[in-house]
Every structure is written in C-alpha cells, then in structure tokens.
C-alpha cells in the first residue's frame, strides 16, 4: 500500500514539474489557404472517394490546404437526375456534407452541360429531340429541384458549362439544337429564381483563344442587358506545357474582369505529357490510342522535367497574385496526381503529374513556392 501512495506522489510531482516547463512550440507549416487568405479562395475538386471519407489522405489535404470545394462529378445531370422522375442525391449530399464540415465555400458543378448529360434530358421515348416547351420545362424542373435541396448551402453554381467552340461559335449541343442560344439566359433565369442568393457562373475551357474570349464577353453583356444575374466567369485552365501562352491567358482574364464579373480559375491542372493536338482543350469527346512514347514517365519525372513543370505552374500563380483583385477563387481539378482525369485523357492509362500534391499526398515544391510568392505579394 505504501509503495502505491509513493508511486502516485512521484507521478504527481513529475506532472507538476512538466506543467511548469515552457511548452515546446510546434511550428505549424503555413497552408495554401492561409497563405492566400485575403487574395482568393483556394479550391479543389472533390471526388466520390473523398466525399465518402474512404480516401482519408485526400480528405486530410482538403481540410488542411483548401477553403473551397467543387463537385468533380456527383452533381452532373447523369448522376443526380438519372431519369426524368428520379433524382439521386446520395453522392451530392455526401459532397455537400464534407464541404460544410470543413467550413468550405461550396460550389455546384454543373447544371446545364452537353456532356455527362442524363440520356433522357433532351429526347423523347423514341430518341427524338423534344419540343422547345418540353425542354424548357425540363430545365426548369431540374434547376429548381437541385437548387431546392442545397439552397443556402451551395454558394455558387456553374450554371452553364462549355457552350462555345474555340472559334467563338455556339457549340452545337442538343440544348442549342432545340432552343438556340436562348438556353443560356433561360438557365441563368431559372437558377436565380430558384436561389436569389446563389452566385451564378459561366464556365469554359480554352479561354485564352481570342475568339472564345470575345464570345464569352459578349455573352456576359447579353445576360446583363437582359437584367439577369451573372457573378463570374470560370476559366477552367487545363494547361499544357507549351500552350496556351501566359500572355493570351492574361488578356482573357482582364477581358472578363472588364466585362464586370469576378474571374474564377475553376479546374486547374497542368499536364506534363505529350498532347496529340494542342487545341484539344478539355474536349472529352476526343481520344487517342496508347503507345509507350505517349507515356514517357511511368515511374517518376526526371528532375529537369519536374523543374520545368514547377516553373510553368509558378508563372500562372504569379499571374493570379498579380491580378488577385480580379480573381475570387483558384480551384485545382483534384487533390493528388493519382486523382486526376488527366491520367486517362486524351490517352487512357498514362501516368501524369498535373496537380500540387504527388501520389503519396506529399506537397510538391510548387506548394512552398506559391506560399512564398503569396507572402511576398502583400
Ligand atoms: O474530372 C472529370 C472526369 O472524372 C470525368 O470523367 C469527365 C467526364 O466528362 O469530366 C471531368 O471533369 C470535366 C469537368 O466536369 C468539365 N470540364 C472538363 C473536365 C475535365 O474533363
């Protein structure tokens, strides 16, 4: 018994000694989101494995590094509204719950898009295009129902995605076939009716092309002239090493800001792999056959190649910092390299290195470079 009391007394005095000691300071590494605070939100696209919590390493990075999230796939019409009278919110609910848990600015992607479109959306039971009236009703129902579920929780929406070709002409989608260019203002009108507080965006790839830039500026003007709400233009920013030139990209960024909307970098990634056609943008309809030459770095990037990648990524982040008064958000299209769609497009089964965190979820040198540049850009 005596020994027992003695042991407790020793333990207590040891604890008292410890609490008297000065706490050792643990130096927190700055995160991307804290370094960029006051400049723009740092966002990331979230996939289903992350939203469901299976990818714990990915969730940890989302939480530590990012303060905005966007749904990579789970809100596209083929997923969320697979049949005319059936919605499936399972995955989207998980995504929104993750964003709320992490106090992130949540972005919905995307309402009206020709790709990953629910197969029933624009056609009747015989596969024939529906009438103008039917499509308008379907668009309204879709937008109203999805908005009703997430009203006040999703703060901004990509309302229309990829409506233009690179030459500035309207993409000939089913929406365009049936409604002409009216489908765009209609979508913005329905979205605003459904949640007057939500920010509404137009989102597209290959925005550095002059003709596309001009078409988007025209669209913003037309929407505003009709008294419709449009808050932002999303520049997707799926980059290649040699395309587009930073200068052309900057011209588009400035043109959108001058049109009176916020600019958002919405789907950023930078492929290091050869691209069979530099004008491919993010046109997922185009694919090319696999060959060894097209997959030059299956194991790792040579140092010089990695350095060139870092330099190009840094040039873009320096541009974003230069124009941070015009940019409200920069979103990466995925957390770690292994998550990226780039590994399978436009050639399936390649190993690409397009994001800020590597396959082990370690930050690449670009992360420290961005944090340093942000701290120097007061
Ligand atoms: O990253 C998405 C990928 O997982 C999907 O297979 C693909 C299908 O269309 O869509 C990808 O995301 C696209 C985004 O929704 C719109 N802009 C282009 C993106 C890359 O294709």
User: Looking at residue 169, what is its pLDDT?
Assistant: 98
Mention every residue, 6+ apart, whose C-beta is less than 8 A from residue 43. Answer: 66, 67, 68, 69, 70, 104, 105, 107, 266, 329, 330, 331, 332
pTM: predicted TM-score of the whole model, two decimal places: 0.92
Residue 360 pLDDT more than 80? yes
Q: Which residue has the higher pLDDT, 49 or 5?
A: 49
φ, ψ (nearest 5 deg) of residue 158:
-75, 100
Q: Which of 107, 284, 287, 332 to mutate to test the pocket of ligand 1 (most atoms within 8 A of CB)?
A: 284
Q: Is 164 helix (H, G, I), strand (E, B) or coil?
A: strand
Residue ranges covered by each domain of the chain: 33-376
- State yes or no: is 162 an active-site residue: yes
Q: Is 162 helix (H, G, I), strand (E, B) or coil?
A: coil
| CATH architecture of the domain covering 33-376 | Alpha-Beta Barrel (3.20)
- State yes or no: is 37 an active-site residue: no
Q: Whose CA is nearest to atom 6 of ligand 1?
A: 341
Q: Whose CA is nearest to atom 14 of ligand 1?
A: 72
Rg of the chain taking only CA atoms, in angstroms: 24
Q: Which residues line ligand 1 (CB under 6 A)?
A: 72-73, 115-116, 161, 205, 236, 267, 282, 284, 341
User: Looking at residue 14, what is its pLDDT?
Assistant: 54
User: Looking at residue 280, what is its pLDDT?
Assistant: 82
Name the active-site residue from 29, 72, 83, 162.
162
Largest CA distance in the chain: 92
Q: Whose CA is nearest to atom 19 of ligand 1?
A: 282
How, if at all, do strands 238-239 and 262-270 pair?
parallel
Going 98 to 101 to 104 to 110, the CA torsion angle's sign is: positive
- Average of per-residue pLDDT across 288-311: 96
Q: Would you state the structure tokens that stand for residue 149, as one six-digit string? A: 């579920």
């Amino acid at each position: 018994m005596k020994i027992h009391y003695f042991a407790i007394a020793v333990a207590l005095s040891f604890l008292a000694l410890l609490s008297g000691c000065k706490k050792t300071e643990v130096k927190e590494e700055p995160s991307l989101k804290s370094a960029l605070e006051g400049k723009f939100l740092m966002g990331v696209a979230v996939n289903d494995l992350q939203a469901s919590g299976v990818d714990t390493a990915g969730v940890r990075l989302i939480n530590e590094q990012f303060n905005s999230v966007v749904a990579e796939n789970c809100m596209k019409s083929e997923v969320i509204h697979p049949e005319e009278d059936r919605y499936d919110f399972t995955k989207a609910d998980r995504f929104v719950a993750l964003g709320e848990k992490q106090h992130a600015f949540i972005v919905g992607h995307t309402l009206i898009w020709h790709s990953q479109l629910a197969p029933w959306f624009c056609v009747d039971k015989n596969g024939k295009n529906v009438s103008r009236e039917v499509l308008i009703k379907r668009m309204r129902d879709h937008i109203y129902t999805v908005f009703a579920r997430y009203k006040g929780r999703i703060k901004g929406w990509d309302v229309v995605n990829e409506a233009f070709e690179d030459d500035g002409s309207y993409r000939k989608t089913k929406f365009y076939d049936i409604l002409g260019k009216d489908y765009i203002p209609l979508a913005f009108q329905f979205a605003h009716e459904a949640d007057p507080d939500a920010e509404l965006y137009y989102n597209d790839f290959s925005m550095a092309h002059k003709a596309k830039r001009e078409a988007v500026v025209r669209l913003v003007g037309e929407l505003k002239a009709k008294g419709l709400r449009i808050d932002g233009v999303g520049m997707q920013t799926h980059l290649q090493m040699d395309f587009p030139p930073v200068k052309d990209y900057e011209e588009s960024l400035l043109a959108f800001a001058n049109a009176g909307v916020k600019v958002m970098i919405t789907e950023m990634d930078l492929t290091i792999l050869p691209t069979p056609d530099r004008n491919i943008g993010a046109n997922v309809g185009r694919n090319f056959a696999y060959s060894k030459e097209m997959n030059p770095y299956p194991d790792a990037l040579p140092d010089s190649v990695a350095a060139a990648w870092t330099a190009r990524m840094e040039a873009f982040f320096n541009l974003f910092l230069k124009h941070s008064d015009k940019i409200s958000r920069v979103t990466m299209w995925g957390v770690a390299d292994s998550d990226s769609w780039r590994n399978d497009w436009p050639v399936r089964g390649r190993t690409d290195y397009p994001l800020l965190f590597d396959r082990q979820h370690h930050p690449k040198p670009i992360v420290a470079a961005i944090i340093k540049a942000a701290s120097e850009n007061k």
